[in-house]
Structure 1
Amino acid sequence: MQGLKQSIITSLWFMFLTFPIMVVRVNTIENTVEWRWMNLAYVGVGIFILSFVWRWALARKEAKQYETETTDKPKKQLWLSRAMEEPAVAKPALAAIFALSVAMPFLVSTYQTNIFISFLLYVILGLGLNIIVGVAGLLFLGHAAFYAIGAYSYALLNHYFGIGFWVALPLGGILACLGGILLAFPVLRLRGDYLAIVTLGFGEIIRLVLENWSDLTGGPSGISNIDRPGLFGMELSVADANVYIYYIVLALAIITMIAVQRLKNSRIGRALQALREDEIACQAMGIDRVNVKVMAFGLGTAWAGFAGVIFAAKTTFINPASFTFMESAIILSIVVLGGMGSNLGVILGSAFLVLMPEYLRAFSEYRMILFAAAMVLMMVFRPQGLIAPKGRKYHVDDPDLIKEGDA
């Protein structure tokens, strides 16, 4: 009853605030005033429904949280996360997704293939950033800078020295990794907002250097006529080249998923997660904080370099406008929306922020409103992301190893 009363008050308050805009309309040609009372009714009913649903959802969330805290019941996982933990479901599902991914270029148009290439590139970028933000817990806002390092590495090497794609691909990743390591040393003592500001500044420095060093990078005009990947010397049409690049980025995305998952379960991954949970306790237990942070920056930025090389090969033209802060914000949003530390969450986040805008062009005028509303709802009702990361469990098979009093 209290929620109903508050929703009515909220509705009346919004009707009062929007009255001059929604109801009163001055016709300057005929010098008359039109009174649009139906608009006021729409505002009142709409705000009442939204407010009531919002309060109901908040009350339901608080009740579930209270039940979990008082009864010590584990939090319920999203049905997709629970399903992927069942081998009987996960293996056939992964096999079907892989088969569909392989057949995708033959089922859709060239334009659609380009969209899926962009989607897979953002998956790679998100998984790389997930190492830094999700696994190591370091707030990083300059990922687009290393994306640019990889892209310009291939563009410059190809433009000035004629180096091909397959030689430039590992070089782009290595150069981006070295850039991440160089950035890591000055920021070893920083954390939280201060680390975010420094990485944001580094991203802007890279963009400005690319924009103003016209003799080398072409400045705002960028670099064009970048060679596409070669296939045993064969001449490929634009459509065939797109299919070829699709399979390259698909293979790299699969390798990235496997590598990041293996990293999380390795000794280095456990050290990164310890750093995320408590940096002081991590150092007190003998983990070298400097080496762990440097590894996190180097490993995370290397994948951005690989993605940058493929991006340059796909578009055959790059300029600094492709690597603005908005790119870093989108990649970070993918990680946060999907679930920090979750590989499946990064894939879902990429689908939401990359694929959905392309398939909702009919609502292009309202896309940003829908995205903003979705982000607000996620932060309020599911702050852990779409797929919350699940800690790894270790079992001791030999009962003699368990000492008395350790339970």
Structure 2
Amino acid sequence: MSDGPTYGFDTLQIHAGARPDPATGARQTPIYQTTAYVFRDADHAAALFNLQEVGYIYSRLTNPTVAVLQERIATLEGGVGAVCCSSGHAAQIMALFPLMGPGKNVVASTRLYGGTVTQFSQTIKRFGWSAKFVDFDDEAAVAAAIDDDTRAVFCESVANPGGYITDIAAIAGIADNAGVPLIVDNTSATPYLCRPIELGATLVVHSTTKYLTGNGTVTGGCIVDSGKFDWSASDKFPSLSAPEPAYHGLKFHETFGPLAFTFHGIAIGLRDLGMTMNPQAAHYTLMGIETLSLRMQRHVENAEKVAKWLENHPRVDYVTYAGLESSKYYDRVAKVCPKGAGGLFTFAIKGGYDACVKLVNALEIFSHVANLGDTRSLVIHSASTTHRQLTAEQQEAAGAGPNVVRISIGIEDADDLIADLDQALAKASA
């Protein structure tokens, strides 16, 4: 699309990054199922490998189908560039990779997806990195946790599983004062509901597997670069500010300016970590994004109706949906997610662990799967699945206690979802 008019979200989700195929005129973005690309000549090849010219070399690094997806997500998020990769977990490692080093740490929210808590508390230790987990509602504690070795602050906009809303602007201010970037996982909200970069985030990560694709067909991840962080303001980020030996001393920030992080993610991250998104996955996600706003509107509408019904059910202890007036996060919705609190939340069942298991087994429309953000309504008992590797204390801190069920509300008829939950709750407490 041209740089002329300012287009609305609904237009950009269909058109951003995409142009008719110059060879065939195909209107839908083709799947460029190719490993490599023919160079014009030896000089062209050398320029590409020296990062003197932008183009296609090898599909581990760049691919035309994936490039369209990168531009579309970056546009919707208000970033300058993006790097797509093989999964949401890959996106998290890719986001941290240029920032961290042995002995360095990331300050992370306690309210994160269980797999992220495990990745940060266990797996990243193998790189010599560490994580400090803090309640991000306690802003003083977040500020106190940041030390000289902290290289990033990490949170979710709408936390999985509980649907808790993070005060992104407040956390961004803390990160800015410390001279470190804020990374926000915007998977549960999507750029339709929340725009973390406008609230001060440096980087935004997604599991594109979820709402962006929306149909449960492929896995993928994405890192969006705001282009606003000064990587050369200190010596904390040598991967971006210091000479890079693999490129004859090139300095990414000096050379690429606002796009330094994006170029590093491709030229170093994808080159050496190899967490590549395949072009067919990019194609499915592009098709999903075309209806993102329509789906998110319905997800929110249904979630509000189901959450209100559950809150008044005698067999339910509490509901965590931030769109309820009873939620402590209700006032944040208008500031952080002005179009709604999303479609993901938890509720606690009277009867504890056993009642949760019975409910999951009794549901008929809700699918029992380890996923969220599908058009279909989904359910899981986090304590026995996604958060099973965590301690009891970590489970409670993440909002995934033994008496809690997570539901991802789909776009079906809300009355049918309520009827399904009603019959399952009756069987759970029988």
**TM-score (structure 2 length as normaliser):** 0.20
**TM-score (structure 1 length as normaliser):** 0.21
Pick 1 or 2: higher relative contact order, CA cutoff 8 A, min separation 6.
1
Structure with the larger helix share: 1
Structure with the larger strand share: 2
